[in-house]
Structure formats: C-alpha cells, structure tokens
Copies of this chain bind each other. A is one copy, B any other.
Amino acid sequence: MAVMAAASAAPAAAPYEREAAELTKAALTGTDFSKLEYLCDTFGPRFSGSENQVLAIDWMLEKDGLANVRGEPVDGIINWKRGKESLELLHPRRTSMALLGLGKSAGTGSEGVTAEVFVVSTFEELTANADKAKGKIVLFNAPFTTYGQTVAFRSRGADAASAVGAVAALVRSVTPYSLYTPHTGGVNYSDKQPRIPAAAVTVEDSEMMARMQKRGQAVVVRLQMDAQILGYNVSSRNVIAEVVGGADPEGIVLLGGHVDSWDVGTGAVDDGAGFFCAWEAVRLINDLIEERKIARPRRTIRFIAWADEEMTGRGAVTYKETHEHELKRHQIAVESDIGNFDPYGFGFTGSADGLAIFRNLSGLLEPVKVGEIVEGAGTTVDNAPLVAAGVPGGALLDSKGSSHYFNYHHSSADTITALNYDGVRRSVAAMAVMSYVLADIPDDLPHAA
C-alpha cells in the first residue's frame, strides 16, 4: 500500500528530473556509434556457433571500463550450418531464384530435390488438398499481416507439408515489403513426421509461382541445400557488464538485447541496435557517475547481451538457471528486440503495483517521446524465463503502427545502413533514464507470487 500511495500521490519520478535531463543530454549528444559500426562491419553476422560471434564477443569484453565485465558460458546451442544452397526454376522457364534455407532445416543432399510446386496460402487449403501436395514441394504463399500471424508458416509449414507427404517446403518471406530479398528464420519440426527441407523464397517469386499455378502452368523447381546440424552442444556466452549499486548492490536492474544474429546481413537491426542501446545506456550512466554529474544508484545496473536468441533461446534459460539465487532481487528485466527506428514507450508485464511504479517513470521519458507504457507487453524471448519466475518484464516498444522493422528482419539487408540513428539515440536515452531511476528508487517492484 505504501507503494500505491507513492505512485498516485507523490510521483517517484519527480526527484529524478535532473538526472534524467543529464542522461538524456548525454545520450542524444554522446552516443558513440563507432562501436556498433565497428562490431557489425568487422566481425559480420554473429550467428550462434560461428567464429565471428566468438571474435565479436571477445572484442566487446575489452570495452568501456564498466565493472564485472564477463562472458558467462551458455551451453547446449544447436550449431546449424547453411552451406551451399540454390533454387532453380525449371518450368515454365529456367532461371535461378533467391532463397534462404530456414535455420535448423534438414538439407537435401547434393542431388537436391526436383519436384513440382504446389502453392497454398493457408494451412486449411493444404489440408483440403492433401492429395495434390503428395510428392510435391509445398509453397506457403501467405501475405504478411502481422509477424505473429504470418510467422506460423515459417515455423510450422514444413511439418504441415510433411504430414501430407510433401518432399520439401518453401515459405514466402515474412516481410511487409520486398526488394527481392529473402528472409530466413527458424523452422520448428515436431517428431511426428519426416523432417523435410525448408527454405524461404522472396515475396516476388512466391507471388509469381502462385500466378503460374493459377493460370495452369506447371511449376517445377530444383531445390538444393547442404544445410546440416553440426552439433547440439556448442557453447557461447552471455555478455555482461555492470554499474555496481551503492546502497544495495545486490538489487539488480537487468537490461539488454541479444548478441547473436542470423548468418546473413550483419545483425545491426536484430539485435545490434537493441543490445547497443542498453550497452550505451549503462556506459553513459557510468561516465556520468565518474564525472560526478549523477550519484551512484542504489542498485546494480546490469547490461546483458543474450546468447542464442534466434535459434533456441539457450542464453535466457541459462541465465535464469545460473542466477537463480539472485532472481528475487531483480527489480526488472528490460529488453530491446523489436527495433529502434522510432521508439515510443515500454511494455510492462508484472503486478499492478509494479506497473504503477513503472508508469511514474513515463514523464521522464516524454522529452524523447518514449513515454507510453503498455500493460502486458513486457515479455520477450529473452526475459520470458525470468518473467515466468516472477521478475517484472519490460520491453522497449518501437514504431507504433508500422512494421518497418520487418523490412530488414533476418535478411541480408540487416546492416548499419538500415538503422535510424536518431531512433537509436532516443532508445539509449530511454534505456538510461528508465534503468537509472528503477535502480535508485527506494521501492522494490513487487514480484509475481
């Protein structure tokens, strides 16, 4: 009840206006993009199990003079390798088509799979035409609606196609806009039927094959994928760095993004900018403390770049296991993993009392237009195990009403060029202010029972 009174009668945020202004100014004028640029350009994509990722993490650990900088081991990562892959249209004309095999997909063997394509746009259509799909390569030509809806064809399409006897599955890339750019992502197999090869084609080729089928032209392709799983127990690291709290160092505000990326592009959007904005927030807080412009906060602010979000989420699970002893003292776990183009607020998942405290922050985030707090929207892939254990969850929200992020998502176009630096600066400011204030307020955010 004390919390509620504080929340409604005397906004907890009010005393932090000076600190918020300092942090905002530092973020908007001092965010150092050379770090993110160097990382993406020099090491390339940071795919789980790749040497690039090892080198990138090593380099990150050398930076910035933060406290307790370390890589915490994460095991049990699936090491999938794309290898060579190709898709040839053989009829009604011969041409090569762009494709990206889906993560964890089976390969085709060196001979490849040559078969007629059967195009559907829903799972229901496939089931109703099971006889036509047998022995074919099923193409799911489902237009983008929301990511959540459309991704089902990428995740579950191969399984559904295999169930009706198809020899491989193709999926239209999950994106609202295409410039002949294929988008990869993970496929999830059940154990109920054979694991058939699965790959994404461009929106352009998917629509073209649908038109061909509609006008009665047989569509024949040859799919070849050397894809294979090289191991099931590869190691990586959760990257961690801290500003240690003063009065209550065992209280923890956790904020970050994921360090791994897909194996195409350089992971600048997903999730380079996401972990970078948290990393810069913590770095700027540390700098301002050292410059004595702000006081050391009560609790510890812990930056984390999660390992392996894209493939199996092992980084998140491992953190939860490794830090079981201190989970109760986690004030919140905040993630940025849905873009930093035009941030507008935070999602929050937790108790009503926690929400009230979090909402009190929002006025401090208004100067960078990130003040909207959305109840129930604070769970992400990486904080989900913590939220399930009772820790309040937060998520930086981006680009209201727009799916711009998905233009780049899981594609070769996910590079520094795609970023909006102004949006990233505002993300840094929002992360810095939010984490500093939650680390310093007297109240602990209540955990779920």
Tell me the A residues contacting B by CB distance below 8 Å: 34, 37-38, 41-44, 52, 92-93, 95, 98, 177-181, 203-204, 207-208, 211-212, 215, 217, 265-266, 407-408, 411-413, 415-418
Assembled-state Cα–Cα distance A384/B92 (Å): 37
Bound-state CA distance A43–B412 (Å) is 28
Contact between A179 and B411 (Cβ–Cβ < 8 Å)? yes
B residues near A211, Cβ cutoff 8 Å = 37, 41, 416
Q: Are B42 and A92 neighbours in the complex by a CB distance under 8 Å?
A: yes
Within 8 Å by CB of A180, from B203, B215, B217, B412, lies B412
Q: Which single residue of chain B is at the shortest CB-CB distance from A203?
A: B417
- Given known A179-B181, A179-B407, contact A416–B208 (CB-CB < 8 A): yes
A413 touches B98 (CB 8 A): no
Residue numbers in B under 8 Å from A408 (CB-CB): 179
Using A98-B412, A417-B204 as known contacts, say yes or no to A217 and B42 having CB atoms under 8 A apart. Answer: yes
Residue on B nearest A97 in the bound complex, by CB: B412
Residue contact B93 to A208, C-beta cutoff 8 Å: no
Q: Which residue of B lies closest to A266 (CB)?
A: B208
The answer to whether A215 touches B179, judged by C-beta atoms less than 8 angstroms apart, is: no
Instruction: Chain B residues near A418: list those with CB within 8 A.
Output: 204
Q: Known contacts A37-B211, A407-B179, A412-B180; decide if A95 and B417 are in contact (CB<8 Å).
A: no
Rounded to whole angstroms, the CA-CA distance of A217 and B43 in the bound complex is: 13
A181 and B43 alpha carbons, distance in the complex (Å): 22
Question: In whole angstroms, how far apart are the Cα atoms of A34 and B265 in the complex?
Answer: 36
Nearest 3 A/B pairs, CB to CB: A180-B412, A179-B413, A179-B179
CB distance from A213 to the nearest CB of B (A): 11
Residues of B within 8 A of A265 (CB): 180
On whether the beta carbons of A178 and B417 are closer than 8 Å, the reply is: yes
Q: How far is the CB of A384 from chain B (nearest CB, A)?
A: 30
Query: Can you report 11 residue pairs joining A to B where beta carbons are below 8 Å apart?
Result: A38-B215, A41-B212, A42-B217, A179-B179, A180-B413, A181-B413, A203-B417, A204-B418, A207-B416, A208-B266, A208-B416
- Contacts A177-B179, A179-B411 known; 10 new A-B pairs at CB < 8 A: A37-B211, A43-B93, A44-B95, A52-B93, A179-B408, A180-B412, A204-B418, A208-B266, A208-B416, A211-B416
* A232 smallest CB distance to B (angstroms): 26
Query: Which of A178, A179, A203, A416 has most chain B Cβ within 10 Å?
Result: A179
Contacts of A43 in B (CB 8 A): 93
Closest to A408 in B: B179
**Chain B nearest Cβ from A141, distance in angstroms:** 11
Residues of B within 8 A of A208 (CB): 41, 266, 415-417
Tell me which residues across on chain B come within 8 A of A177, comparing CB atoms: 179
- With A265-B180, A415-B204, A416-B207 known as contacts, the answer to whether A93 contacts B212 (CB < 8 A) is no
CB distance from A3 to the nearest CB of B (A): 47
Judge whether A42 and B98 touch: CB under 8 Å: no
